[in-house]
Each structure stands twice: as C-alpha cells, then as structure tokens.
Amino acid sequence: MKYYAYYPGCSMEATGAPVEKAIHAIAKPLDIELMELEDWTCCGSSPFSGVDKVKAMAITARVLAQAEKTGLDLVTPCSSCYTILREANELMKEDHKLAWQVHEALVSVGLSYNGTVNIRHIVEVIYNDVGLEALAAKVKRPLTGLKVACYHGCQQVRPDYGFDDSELPNWLDNMAKSLGAEPVNFPLKARCCGSSLVISETGMAIDLIHKLLQNAQDNGAQCIVSTTCPLCHTALDAYQSQVNSQFKTKYNLPVLAISQFIAIALGLDEKAAALDYNVVSAKKLLAPYFSGKASLAKAESAT
Amino acid sequence: MINGKTTFLNEVASIPACDKINECVQCGVCSGSCTTAEHWEYPPRKIIAMVRSGMKDEVLNSNSIWYCVSCYLCTARCPRNIKPANIMHALEAIALKEGYKPPTKTTTMYRSFANSIEKNGRIYEFGFMLDYFLKTNPFAALKMLPLAVNLLKHKRMPLLPKSVKGKDQLNKIFHNITTGGSR
C-alpha cells in the first residue's frame, strides 16, 4: 500500500462526482491510499490569476502548506488544480519577492511553506506508481474490442511539467490498452475543451467541445475515455446536449473518466463505477461487458 | 521608469511569471497556437507588442485578453519561455484593479468566482453560477436550465454550499497579503 496526501479540488464535490466516486472505488484495489487534506480550501484555479496574482498564489500556498505537514506526495485528480499548484510551487522558488509576500501572509495565520511538496496528477500516479503491468494483471472484466478516444485535455500535459508529451500525449491510450480496449486515432486529444470560460463565453466553449466530439466520433470511437479532470469530464458529458442543440447534431457519446473505466475493468459494479452520475449513459454500451457476453463473443470469433 | 512614472511595460513585468516579456522576439507562435485566436481582436503576439509600446488603454479596453482559456499551448511552445498565458491573466488583473470596463462578461464571471472562494473557502458551483447570471443577464440562465436539470438529476449539483472551517484562515491570508503590500 502506498500513501498519498489527496486534494480533490472544489468541482469534485459537485459536477465531478462520477470521476471522484470512481477514484475512491479503485484506490484500494490499486493499493493506493488517498488521505484527503483536512479542511482544504480552493486552489484559486486560473480565474483568480486574472483577479490578483499575488493573492492567487497565497490561496494556492495554503493548500501546499497543509500538504507539506503530511510529508507525503500531494495528489490531485483535477488538471486545473494540478497546474496551478505546480505553478505556485515553481514561482515561489524563482520569485523571491512573491515568496516573501506569501510567506508573511501564511505566517500570520500560523502556517508556513518551505517548498518541499511533490505535486502529482493521479493519472501520473496510476501510470508510474501502479504501472501498466500491475494494472493489466488486475483486470477482471477486459474491455476487449471497445473503441475509445482517449482525451487528455490541456492542463494535464501543459505548460509542461514533464508529464507525458505536451502535444500528443499517449498515457491514457496505453492505460486503456492494458485494460483491453482499442484506442482510436484522436488528433485533438490534448486540445482544450474551453471549460474555464464555459459560463461566460458559452458559445465559444460549445464550439470547442463540438470539435472534440466530432473528432472522436469521426475516428470511430464508441465512447470517450477522459482524464480525471472534472472540468473536462463535465464539458464533454454534460454539455453534449448543448452541442446538439447549437449544432443540430445527435451526439450520444458516453464519456467515462479513466477512473470509471478502470473501475469497470477491475470488475467492480455499476455503482462503484458511478455510472448513474453520467449524463450521457454508458450502460447500454457496457451491457455486454457486464453480462459477460462481450468476452464470449470475442472468444467465439477467435476460434 | 519614464519621467518618474512606471511604464505599462514595467507594471506588467513586475507581476509574478511575467518578467520575461522583454525577451519576446515576436515570432507569433503564441498567436498561431492559440485555441481561441479567431475571437481576439489583437492576438497574443500583438498584445505583447502593444504592451511594449505602452498602448495601455487599447489593450485593457479590448476583449482580447479575456478569451484566454488557459490551455497553455502558447506557453508550452514559446521558444523564449515568456509565458504568454500568464501575461494575459496579469493584464486581466490590471484591468480589473484599475477599473477598465471591456464589454466582455468574463470580468463579472471572474469576480463571481473570486467572491465564491472568499465567501465559502471553496468554489460552490451552483452559487457561483447563480451570482454570475444575476449580475449579467438572468434570462441567459434560462438557456442553462436544461443543463442544470441534468446535473441535478444526476446528483452533480448540490444546492447548498459546504461549510469549510478553513475559510476564516483563508480570509485572514487575503487580508494580510493586501495590507502587507500587494503589487
């Protein structure tokens, strides 16, 4: 069992529910223990940097100060939290004036941060610490023959913290393969879904989401396997009906977070995989796998 | 400094992560990479040139910078490592602080977002969206109704905020960093 400090981020308490519930379901089978930071507060995300950068970094630093006390690696599933936490950590090392301003504010409430926290994305933890071989060895319900488009999103791989490739990543593809699925070619896999502006520039964001759905479907995907970022997942899943009304399309493409996808492959039930929380239902698509008919069909065609 | 006054360029360069703006070679990789460039009146490369030319009012009265979706394609690709996305957010912050009023509604959205953090310690998604729509166009919220219903139906939109003890500490940090001399 490996232990990590865990920072879910605000969206996991609401729109990110399916992603989050599945993360907790797969943690134990994957031998990882996620210890949620006590009384955590928002990381500030990108909008706060557009309000006040120094304040934004101080908000982020409260999370880092809490995490440092645990002595563990800090893991987050949200790509936006991941990027801003990494940025604050680096900036405070480079910019001494900023570091001092933040330090004084932290000290005034009895906190301190010494810059020692190792910040990690949960996808990277599963990829590197659990590993593809161990993942494949734990598969009880192989997703054989399922054609998936693996959506990595933007802030998981950019600006570029050495996580996968910043232009054309393939870690999610490799994970899906080790679970038995067939990743399709998906050129827009690291393009942005626009969710940071989906509230105020809805039309613009819907256009970006449309391009992603179109690219996935045109390449023959039966569903999208998304990163654990709750913003990416909500954009592709919950906003699909808005895309359909804006573009007169009929997308009905289930979007499973990689945590849900792993839960299914590990043989967990629909409840553990949080399938009821998805707006576009994946149940029909997955029915043959839950009933065991998919593997039978595959075995028959092989003989 | 020119005649004892801080130039616009210096104002931007003094914000964390923006100090390399002087090293931009105007190659245009940022504009060519930008996810939303088609919406920008002045794309990122031009914005940087305008900042360096002191065109403060033109930059801050325009909607352009507010279309940045923080996808960091520009930043990952910039050969001079100047972090254009960070510069755009720094410009947004200057515009808000100095009372510029570009037509975009994203200014209000960012304020609602920040208010939600100060009030609740965490983003309370339902309250944040409600606040934004009440301050901009309540009728636009009607368009979002089907989405909200879908999220409610799938237990993804709690209607009440969670009480976080850490919010008092967070607010003290806010208070102390402001009085401690923010940039």
Least CB–CB distance from A47: residue in B113, B180, B182: B113
pLDDT in tens, B31-59: 999 999 999 999 999 999 999 999 999 99
pLDDT of residue B14: 95
* A162/B contact by beta carbon, under 8 A: no
Contacting B residues, span 7-26, partner chain A, CB-CB under 8 Å: 15-17, 19
Distance from CA of A51 to the nearest CA of B (A): 4
CB B102 within 8 A of CB B95: yes
CA pair distance B111, B136, nearest whole angstrom: 12
Does B73 score more than 50 pLDDT? yes
The percent of chain B in helix, strand and coil, each rounded to the nearest 5, is 60, 0, 40
| CATH number, domain B8-97, options 1.10.10.10, 1.10.1060.10, 3.40.1280.10, 3.40.50.2300 | 1.10.1060.10
Q: Which residues of B touch A155 (CB under 8 A)?
A: 70-72
Dist. CA A157–CA A136, nearest whole Å: 24
Chain A partners within 8 Å of B170 (Cβ): 41, 59, 62
Q: Which residues contact residue B14 at a Cβ distance below 8 angstroms, ignoring those fewer than 6 apart? A: B183
Which of B97, B89, B98 has its CA nearest to residue B64?
A: B89
Could you tell me the CA-to-CA distances from A245 to A49, A74, A277, B143 in Å, in that order?
33, 40, 22, 11
The pLDDT score that the predictor gives to residue B140 is 86
Site of tokens 């573009």? A247
* Pick from A53, A51, A50, A120: nearest CA to A85: A120
The mean predicted confidence, pLDDT, of chain B is 93
Is the distance from CB of B21 to CB of B65 less than 8 angstroms?
A: no
In sequence order, which residues have a C-beta less than 8 Å from that of residue B48 and are 6 or more positions away?
B21, B24, B26, B30, B82, B84, B87
The pLDDT tens digits for B113-145 are 999 999 999 999 999 999 999 999 998 888 889
Q: Number of residue pairs across A and B with CB atoms under 8 Å?
A: 215
Q: Residue A22 is encoded by which pair of tokens? A: 């599945």
Q: What is the pLDDT, as a whole number, of residue B183?
A: 42
Longest C-alpha distance within chain A, in Å? 71
Q: Do the bridges between strand A74-76 and strand A119-121 make them parallel or antiparallel, or are there none, so unpaired?
A: parallel
Q: Which among B17, B113, B150 has CB closest to A241?
A: B150
CA distance B13 to B7: 10
For residue B163, pLDDT over 90 is answered with no
**CA nearest neighbour of B2 among B54, B60, B79:** B54
CB count in 10 Å sphere of residue B119 = 15
Q: What is the pLDDT of residues B81-121, one digit of tens each?
A: 999 999 999 999 999 999 999 999 999 999 999 999 999 99
Which pLDDT does position B182 carry in this prediction? 40
Q: Which amino acid is at A177?
A: K
* pLDDT at position A162: 80
Place of tokens 């960070």: B86
pLDDT of B179 over the 50 cut:
no
Nearest to A154 among B71, B92, B117 (CB): B71
A79-94 and A53-70 helices, crossing angle to 10°: 100
The amino acid sitting at B182 is S
Domain layout of chain B by residue ranges:
8-97, 106-179
**Predicted local confidence at residue A71, as pLDDT:** 98
Residue B117: closest CA among A106, A112, A40, A75: A40
**DSSP letter assigned to residue A129:** I
Q: What is the DSSP letter of B5?
A: B
pLDDT of residue A303: 52
User: Residue A275 has what DSSP assignment?
Assistant: G
The span from the CA of A140 to the CA of A152, in Å, is: 25
Q: What is the pLDDT of residue B143?
A: 85
Q: Rounded to 5, what percent of chain A is helix, strand, coil? A: 50, 10, 40
- What pLDDT is attached to residue B46? 98
Show the domains of chain A with their CATH numbers: 2-122 (1.20.1050.140), 139-302 (3.40.50.11810)
Tens-binned pLDDT, residue by residue, of chain A (303 aa): 999 999 999 999 999 999 999 999 999 999 999 999 999 999 999 999 999 999 999 999 999 999 999 999 999 999 999 999 999 999 999 999 999 999 999 999 999 999 999 999 999 999 999 999 999 999 999 999 999 999 999 999 999 888 899 999 999 999 999 999 999 999 999 999 999 999 999 999 999 999 999 999 999 999 999 999 999 999 999 999 999 999 999 999 999 999 999 999 999 999 999 999 999 999 999 999 999 877 665 555 555
In the block, residue with structure tokens 């930043």: B75
Q: Is the pLDDT of residue B1 over 90?
A: no
Higher pLDDT pick, A206 / B163:
A206
DSSP A81-112: HHHHHHHHHHHHHH-HHHHHHHHHHHHTTT--
Look at residues A20, A114, A112, A29 and name the one whose alpha carbon lies nearest to residue A75.
Answer: A20
| Angle of the A230-237 helix axis to the A79-94 helix axis, nearest 10 | 150
